[in-house]
Amino acid sequence: MKISPVRAGAHIEGIHWIAEYAGDVHEIRILREGQEVDIHDAPATLFGDEENAGSKSCADHRAAEAAVLAYLRRFVAEHDAEE
Domain limits, the chain: 6-80
> What value does the mean pLDDT of the chain take?
81
pTM (whole model) above 0.85: no
Q: Which residue has the higher pLDDT, 2 or 8?
A: 8
Which pLDDT tens digit goes with each residue over 30-57?
A: 999 999 999 999 887 776 554 454 545 6
pLDDT score, position 83: 63
Q: Concatenated DSSP letters for 17-82?
A: EEEEEETTTTEEEEEETTEEEEEEEPPTTSSGGGGGSSS--HHHHHHHHHHHHHHHHHHHHHHHHH
